[in-house]
Every structure is written in C-alpha cells, then in structure tokens.
Structure 1
Amino acid sequence: MFWRTKKALQLPEYPDQAKLDAVLQTLDSFPPIVFAGEARHLEDRLGEAAMGNAFLLMGGDCAESFKEFNANNIRDTFRVILQMGVVLMFGGQMLVIKVGRMAGQFAKPRSDNFEEKDGVKLPSYRGDNVNAATLNLLRAFATGGYAAMQRVTQWNLDLTEHSEAGDRYQELASRVDEALGFMSAVGLTTDHPIMTTTDFWTSHECLHLPYEQSLTRLDSTSSLYYDCSAHFLWVGERTRQLEGAHVEFLRGIANPLGIKVSDKMDPNELVKLIDILNPENKPGRITIITRMGAENMRVKLPHLIRAVRRAGQIVTWVSDPMHGNTIKAPSGLKTRPFDAIRAEVRAFFDVHEQEGSHPGGVHLEVTGQNVTECIGGSRTVTFDDLGSRYHTHCDPRLNASQSLELAFIIAERLRKRRMGTQQSLAP
C-alpha cells in the first residue's frame, strides 16, 4: 500500500469516494481472477524468450468494452492468436508463448482529463475500467479441446479466405496435419495434453491502481504478493516515473512485468527502472516492449540494448510496432499503415541481429473481427475503406488477414535466424 504515498498519474477522478471504496471492498472480497502459479509459469517461459529459446506473441484489443463481450468475438480473437502462434512456431521451430491483451485491457491513459467538442465539455473516456468473465471462456477454449493441434485446419476465419495469407496458412496447416498423421502411424499418441491444450495467459496495462490493489493477493506457496487481475502487467510510457506510484506498486508484486519504451527513453533511466523492478535480476521478470517507429528503432534501440547489457541485466526484448505508427487519415480517423508496421518489425530484427541480442517477441493490437482500421496488407484496405468497418474503441487494430500476413513475415525472420545459428554451430 506504500504506493499511495507516491504521486499517481492517469488515475480517474471519482466524484463519490465512498461509493468507490465500497466497490473496491467488494472486489477485495472476491476470489482471484488468475493464480500465482500460472504467473510463475509464464515468468519461466519468458525467461526462455530472454535467452532466445522461445518467442512471445502478445495480441488483443487496444481497449476492451462491455459492448463487444460475446463468445464469438472472444473466440475469433483467440483463434487469430492460435493461428499466428502456429505460423511462428513452424517458422522458428521454438516455443511460442501466447499472451492475450484480453480479459482486463480496459483502463486507458489520456492526455487530458476532459474533452470539449462543440462547446460541450465532458470527462475523457478512460475505458470501461472493470474486468469480466472473458477469462473463463478463454480457459475453456485453451483446455477444452478447441486449441487441439488436430483442429489446426479448422481455425481459419472466413475473412481470411481468398487471401494470400489465408492460402499460405492452409498450406502450412496441411503440413501440420501430415506431421500429426505420421506421429499417429508410428504409435506416437496425439491425445497427449501437449497436443490437445495450449497455455494461454492474459495481460493488461497496470494503470488503475486502486483496482489492481483490490485484486492483489498473498500467495501461500511463495509468501509473495501477486496482482491476480492478470498474469502479466505492464507500465506505460506515461506512468513509468522512477519515483511514481505505478512503479512503486509494481515493485511490490511478483508477476512478470512489462515496461513500454519509446524513443524518448534515456538508456540510463531504463537501467535504473529495471534495477528497481528486478533487483535480483531474475530471467523472465522484465519484458521491454519497444514502440518507436522503424527509423527511430534503428537509431535508439541499439543504445538501450548496450546499456542493459553493460549493466548485466537479463530482459526479454519485444517489439510493439503499432503505437509508433499511428497517423490520421484524411477522414479524421486514426489508422496505422501495414507497411510501417512491417518496417518496424524488420528494424527490430535487424537491430538485434546487429547487436547479437535476442528478439524475444511482438506485442500487437489485433482482432478476429473483419475490421477496416489499419490500411494496407495483401487484401488492401484503403483510406476510403476505413469508414466501412471501423469498430475500435480506441486505437486501430490489425484484422485477421493482416495479422496472419505479419505472422508469416516474422516467421521468415525467425527461420533465417534459426538457420544462421545452426550454420554458426556447424563444425
């Protein structure tokens, strides 16, 4: 609770403190949403990604809303992440850690507390700001047979049909089916849990501290505190002050943590922040999520990598190619060009290849809905198309076809990296 003595930015202002306290007390009395052991398991996996032996795939909505809470939307986004995971696993020949930006990505930072339009002044929308039953459905999908590898050919969404990415996925899925058939023919069972279920974790930005505090629990196994609102929490660009309340709160919980980093981050400050949040230098504890734009990535990221390396700190480096590439369309809608997203991903891999470090994952805003929010891709979305299916409550998301197309681009880089490593180890 020491975070309450620190300055907390970006918290909503509630007119009725007594009602807020009553709601928080109710949340405090509820069972945890996730379990400490699950968060520890994720931390172990992220430690593998830090060493280049696994790859993190984070994906989901920019801002979830109650309006879109239905089984089909949740299923379709989950399915896109499964599809992308198969593509990346096949290309990289390594474990893919699937983390949903789901079941908690509600609260949003805003530049101003109020917005004014046509003379009307209203509080800025900060998200619906409360969790819901999404996680129960995700658990059912992940463990109830839906995620079984035998269903790999059935995961395709209608909106990816007749697209280059969809065709490539079907070809890959057929190859996976052949491999499963061979395993069965030689007596290797395909009903093992590793083939019929998948690990799936949840994440969101640690922004609304009273809410996060109300779901923090003391774990009886480890005697450590875990924020049981999600497995993975990250601190954003606007709330990562070294002496701020958000960093103080995160310092006290044992979940794996993310740090969002833009081109404004000073390398020395990053080292200090990592040291505050991970003084024991535990692999998997800290994930650095870079969001810079392609050109800034090539200039700024090497200095961050070198500073962290000099300090001897172990982190998982992840690319968020979405937030540094938001532009305004002629219509006034926010959008993100697919070419810019692809360029930042390529810059991320190029820098890590240059520095001899490990590209540990990607953090994307995606949806299973057939939206037209990001321009470009092989099934080209134009500026004129944006208004037809623009449904996001905050920032533009990749649709399923664009997500798959990007997954194949990343998988090719992982494959080249793997082949290069094998050649360097050859006698």
Structure 2
Amino acid sequence: MSFYNLSPIQALPLATMMKHHRFKAHALVLTKKCRHLLNLGFENTTKQNLGPSHLANTETPSLHLHRHPRPEASHVKPRTANARRGHRALLCHRNPNPRAPLKKCDLNPSNLIVILFSKPTTMAISSTSNSLIPTKSLIPQTHSLVPSTKLRPGLRSKPVHAPSIVAVHAAEPAKNPVVSDKPKSQAQPPQPQPPTAVRTGKWTVESWKSKKALQLPEYPNQEDLDSVLRTLDAFPPIVFAGEARTLEERLGEAALGNAFLLQGGDCAESFKEFNANNIRDTFRILLQMSVVMMFGGQMPVIKVGRMAGQFAKPRSDPFEEKNGVKLPSYRGDNVNGDSFDEKSRIPDPQRMIRAYCQAAATLNLLRAFATGGYAAMQRVTQWNLDFTQHSEQGDRYRELANRVDEALGFMAAAGLTVDHPIMKTTEFWTSHECLLLPYEQSLTRLDSTSGLYYDCSAHMLWVGERTRQLDGAHVEFLRGVANPLGIKVSDKMDPNELVKLIEILNPQNKPGRITVITRMGAENMRVKLPHLIRAVRRAGQIVTWVSDPMHGNTIKAPCGLKTRPFDAIRAEVRAFFDVHEQEGSHPGGVHLEMTGQNVTECIGGSRTVTFDDLSSRYHTHCDPRLNASQSLELAFIIAERLRRSRMRSQQPLASVGL
C-alpha cells in the first residue's frame, strides 16, 4: 500500500505529548529513540512530499519524509496496556529548512512531531521499499492523543529518517519457578486466533496426532510405548516456565540488535559419551566464546546450549544398507542404537526414560556451573582448555582475558563492587529439536502462573527443515506451547511460506518468540536470504535472525567420513553479516554444532585439520562438529564483525558531537 493511502488524523509535537500525563510514558519512549535515529544515517536519502491536502484536518503544512536506501524496522514496547492497539504513528523531524544539516539541537522533543494515521494497514514508503509500520500501534484507538495543538503557520517539517514505530506485547516477566500441572487430555488452553486457514481447530496437547507426522519411529509394541509415556507423564519437568519466559525476553532484545545469541553443542548427544568432563568442556568453550563476542560487540551474549535433550535426529532415508543388509536408520540414542545390527536398530521406548534422566542430570550440572562460581567473571583467565593454551587462538584469548582481568582489578581498586551476582553467575539455557513428539507431549505442562502450556523438556525448541510443513504434526504441536521457538530454514524455503509459518507459530507477533535459523551455504545465503528478510519485514513480523553455518557445508571426505571445511563455515558467517548489513536488519546470533573436546571432525582452521587427520579423533555419532580451537577462532571472527557494526553505529553520533 502506498504511503498516500493512509489518512493522517493528527500531528502533534513530541514536547506537547510529554506535558500530558496520560501519554508522557509514550513520549519518553520516543525521546529515547532520538539518539538511535541518528545511527541510521541521512545521506543519499529520497524525499517524498506529503502535501497539505493529505494533512488538511491537522492544520499542519507539508512535511518531508526522508527515507534511507536500506530502512530497517524498529519496535518499541508500550508502557501502558491501552497502548497496544489503535492508530499508526510516525515520528518525524520538524525543520523550516529541509536541506539544512542535522544538528544536535534538532533532537530536542520540541522539534519532533508525531503523526497519527487512521487506517490500521501496512504502510510502505514506496513500491521498492521494505520499510513498513507493522501490526500494533503506539497510540490508543479510541482517544485522540492530547487536546488539539496548533502549529505555527507556514512551518515546514523535516522529519528524521526514523524506522517504523510499533508497540508490541512485552514478554511476561519471569516469575519464581512453579511446578506446573500435567495437562489433561480434555483440557483446553487459552486459544490464540488462528492466523491462516491452515490452523482452524482448537489446540490440545494431542491435536498433533490428527496431522501427518514425519520422522517418527515405529515402535513394535504399543503397550510398552504407552507404559513409558505414562511414566514420563508423572516425572517432574526438566525446566520451568519462568525460565523460558526470561529467555524469550532476551531473544526479543537480540531481534532488535541489542544482544547476540550463541547457541551451540553436540549434533546429537549420546549415552556412551555422557560424563561430567565432556559437559564441563563444552560449557567452558561456550563461556570463552561469549566473552570474546561480548568484548567485541559490547552487548550481552545469550548462551543457549544444544544440550540436556538433543538426542533425536531426522534422517533423509528411513533405512540404511550395508553389505546387502538393510536395517532401520539410526535416529538418536533416545530412539535406537547406532550399532549396525537388528537388535540395536529396533526402536525401544525405554530409551526415552534414559534420555530424560541424562537430560535432567546434564542440566543439574550446568546449573551448578552457571551459578556455583565456575562462571564467575573473575575466573575468565582460567577457562582456557589445556590443548588450546599454546595455539594462536589460545594466545588471543589469553590476551583478551588479561584485559578483562585488568578491568575487574580497576573496578575493585575504585571501590566498585565486583561481588554482584551478575559478576559471579551467568544465565544459561538449553534447547533441542522438537522431533520425538510422544516424548515432547509427555513433558508438556500447564503453567499455573500464566495459564499457558510449556514443553518442559527444554527452554527453547526448534522445528527442523524436514518437519516444518504448515499442516504437519510438528508445527501443530509447537503452535500451542509457549516456549521460544526456532525455525530451521534452507535455501529451499519460499518467502511466502516462511511468513505463513511465522503467522501460525506467533500470531501475536511477540518479540523473542521466533528465531529464524538459516542454513544455506555462503553463496546461497547471499542470493536467498535477502528475499526472506524482505518478506518478513513486509509482513511486519518480529524475528531473531540466526546463522547455522554448519548444515549447508557438509561434504564427504575421500575416506568416506562426513566433514565440514572451516573455510566454508567462516564464509557463510561472513555472508550472513554482509546480507544483514546490506538489508539494514540485525544479525541476531549463530547456531553451531561444536564440542569442547579435541576432536578432528571438521577440516581446516588455524591448527589445520586435514583429511588424513579425520580418523584419528572422529567421535561424533551423527554430523561433524567444530572442536574447541575452531570454535574459538570463529568467535573472534564474529566478534570482529560485531565490533565493526558497533563502530559504524557510533560514527553518526560523533559527527554531531554526541
């Protein structure tokens, strides 16, 4: 829809809003955005004139709207409940001389105007622009903003190039963990309005059974399966709903470019390699990577492990054949065994009990590491793994850690406290692919504090490339649980299909609810990702964009083992940042298959793992993983890109003396 199709109904100075007690909170929110508006730049802009005929009932002369070639959406949380619906609002800058350069004094609220539009429809500034005003508004629908205020006649306005402003429902604050009730099969949760015709029925914990379910094993004995599921029904939740809500809030910040997600861990956890040292080493390398990224990006890093539940794996072929023998494919240790014999490959429901116990034990140890002092920032110099200490990446990390240690020493000498819990603990969450639906259903609980259903097997779940069908069982199950959700997306994803899928899973457009995890390969990333970003932006949807540089770069080595070249992984990460810089959107995080062990599964890196080295320490049960040295090397690459983005964002502020 053209900008001219919207009818302006009121134009008011921001300073006037601030004097009105009812809307002062909203004005303060807009005032805080003033500094951010400068970061977007004003050179090479395109002017579009809104003539007096379009603003006749506002007694406001013509305004000039400045549009950056790569506009980006920005979302503002409302401060009151009645600000969650109503008119559209656009923040503009007022200046008698539209061609005059922007000055620091121009950021005064008296020079900013808020224009209200009466039609609750998507706004596009031009046919080629992707900037729009999304689905919820800053202004209540049933009231005019403040009593009418006349502007000086003949005054021309020059608006700051502002991103579209939209108020969204904030994620509910985390409450104390409450053990939730197990849902009854006949109980109905609160129902969101279905966004498309694909989802018209009410959701229940069992409604997925009426849909086509892919990638599920066929258990030979239904009675054994039912018995195991009843046992899981009675078990306590592994995670709590309040923790998942907190993660959703953090991911909402990443969607706005104010935080960065680091999600990593095993391709598939195994029963054989379950021990405390492996868990500790993976946790430790994630801590190291987060410090490197946080130091470079000067922003919080959200640490989410592919741990404490990442057992099941989808397979491209339901059967595997060797030497003329055909057996069911290995689907993860919570389904069957990886040994190539008939007994191991038969799906065994008892494995779900063992997977639950291992996930609970893993999370228990992770909680102890995160809150018991191991993750204290004062220990930053002690996190280096033995086999990385004398490598190039180990030396770089040691130098960075010493700088952090010096900063902490300065704080202590200046009398600033370093004993605050934030310095001695860290937030850490768990995630896995939502694949084995009977297991996920058995661990779904009704949260007594919110009245919503949560899958308490993990804080965050994602739907895979092979199971994200709009009318499929996995999407049906996930649309009813309130956990933060990820969507794995390859170069085969159609932009319109992605928009529909997001509508199904996030009809309320809550920030932090949806994380789009792209896995395409570097060249496909540069071609395909821009179309996905533009489609999501046109729909006004709030998502966190994350790169999975692993799955699009798997090759077969001459020895027959699967591997991933580090150079290809690095190229895809760089392409991810380049595309988001080009499109004016936020690179929100990375999703890695990695381990703290000294494995040789991915070739390349500064320590140069070769094809000949693969078989020496190839321990994965599924796909190849980055080892600790390669993971840390990638963290420094990401930190440098975050630092460059930060420096670019500060240049416009420096140019006006801020």
Identify the TM-score tier after normalising by the shorter chain. over 0.9
**Cα distance in 2 for residues equivalent to 1:4 and 1:302:** 36
**Alignment match of 1:267 (pick from 489, 495, 502):** 495
Instruction: Specify the structure having the higher radius of gyration (Cα).
Output: 2
CA distances 1:61-111 after superposition (whole Å, capped 9, x unpaired) = 000001111000000000000000000000000000000000000000012
Q: Give deviations 1:251-292, integer Å, cap 9, x for gaps.
A: 000000000000000000000000000000000000000000
Matched residue, 1:201: 429
Residue 161 of structure 1 pairs with residue 389 of structure 2 = yes
Indicate the residue corresponding to 1:405 in structure 2: 633
- What is the distance in 2 between the residues matched to 1:342 and 1:424? 30
Supply the RMSD in Å over aligned alpha carbons. Answer: 0.6
Matched, 1:87 2:292: yes
Structure 2 residue identity aligned to 1:345: V
Residue 258 of structure 1 aligns to a residue whose secondary structure is strand
Structure 2 counterpart of 1:402, one-letter code: Q
Letter in 2 for 1:83: Q
Cα distance, 1:424 vs structure 2: 2.5
2:280 match: 75
Query: Which residue number corresponds to residue 312 of structure 1?
Result: 540
Where does residue 210 of structure 2 map in the other structure? Answer: 5
In the alignment, is residue 364 of structure 1 matched against residue 564 of structure 2? Answer: no
Where 2:615 maps in the other structure, the secondary structure is coil
Q: Deviations over 1:300-342 (max 9, x none)?
A: 0000000000000000000000000000000000000000000
Q: Which residue of 2 aligns with 1:341?
A: 569
Aligned to 1:223: 451
User: Following the alignment from structure 1 to structure 2, what is the Cα–Cα distance between the partners of residues 113 and 295?
Assistant: 30
**1:288 matched residue in structure 2:** 516
1:23 aligns with 2:223: no
Distance in 1 (CA, whole Å) between partners of 2:653 and 2:253 is 20
Match of 1:36 in 2: 241
- The C-alpha deviation readout for 1:166-205, integer Å capped at 9, x for no partner, is 1000000000100100111111121211000000000000
For the residues of structure 1 that align with 2:413 and 2:598, how far apart are their CA atoms? 39
SS in structure 2 of the partner of residue 387 of structure 1: helix
Q: Which of 106, 113, 127 is matched with 2:332 structurally?
A: 127
CA distance in structure 2 between the aligned counterparts of 1:260 and 1:159, rounded to whole angstroms: 33
The equivalent of 2:303 in structure 1 is 98
Structure 2 distance, partners of 1:15, 1:416, is 56
Aligned residue identity for 1:231: H
What SS class does the counterpart of residue 66 from structure 1 fall into? coil
Q: Deviations over 1:40-76 (max 9, x none)?
A: 0000000000000000000000000011110000000
Does 2:537 correspond to 1:332? no
- Partner of residue 111, structure 2: none
Paired with 1:28 and 1:40, the residues of 2 have a C-alpha distance of 22
Higher mean C-alpha deviation, range 127-136 or range 52-61: 127-136
* Aligned partner of 2:264 among 59, 67, 79: 59
- The amino acid that maps onto 1:140 is A
Taking structure 1 as the reference length, what is the TM-score of the superposition?
0.99
The worse-fitting range, judged by mean Cα deviation, of 157-166 and 172-181 is: 157-166
Q: C-alpha separation between the residues in 2 aligned to 1:159 and 1:402?
A: 12
Secondary structure of the 1:67 match is: coil
5 Å matches for 1:42-53? 42-53=247-258
Matches of 1:306 and 1:165 in 2, distance apart?
37
The amino acid across from 1:37 in the alignment is G
Whole-Å Cα distance in 2 between the matches of residues 350 and 425 of structure 1? 23
Query: What is the CA-CA distance between 1:121 and the residue it aligns to?
Result: 1.9
Per-residue deviation, 1:120: 1.7
Q: Post-superposition shift, 1:352?
A: 0.1
Runs of 4+ in 1 over 2 A off after TM superposition: none
3-state SS of 2:257 partner: coil
Matched to 1:25, the amino acid is R
- Tell me the amino acid that sits aligned with residue 638 of structure 2: I
TM superposition score normalised by structure 2: 0.65
Give the helix-richer structure, 1 or 2. 1
- Identity within the alignment, %: 88
AA paired with 1:64? E
Distance 1:192 1:18 in 2: 53
Give 2:478's aligned amino acid.
L
Q: Partner of 1:251 in structure 2?
A: 479
Gaps of 5+ in 2: 1-205, 335-354
Report how many aligned residue pairs link the two structures.
427
If asked which structure has higher relative contact order (CA below 8 Å, sep 6+), I would say: 1
User: 1 CA distance for matches of 2:653 and 2:507?
Assistant: 34
What SS class does the counterpart of residue 360 from structure 1 fall into?
A: strand
Give distance in 1, aligned partners of 2:220 and 2:417: 60
Post-superposition CA distance 1:219-242 (Å, at most 9, x none): 000000000000000000000000
User: 1:352 is matched with which residue: 564, 580, 593?
Assistant: 580
- Counterpart Cα distance in 2 of 1:237 and 1:109: 9
Amino acid at match of 2:211: K
Tell me the distance in 2 between the aligned counterparts of 1:24 and 1:418: 49
Cα distance between partner residues in 1 of 2:472 and 2:641? 38
CA displacement at 1:381 relative to structure 2:
0.2
The offset of 1:126, in angstroms, is: 0.4
- Alpha-carbon separation, structure 2, partners of 1:134 and 1:2: 31
The answer on 1:322 being equivalent to 2:322 is no
Residue 425 of structure 1: how far off its partner (Å)? 3.0
* Cα offsets for 1:349-389 (capped at 9, x unmatched): 00000000000000001101100000000011000000100
Q: Within 2, Cα distance between the matches of 1:169 and 1:112?
A: 42
Structure 1 residue 386 corresponds to structure 2 residue 591: no
| Aligned residue number for residue 529 of structure 2 | 301
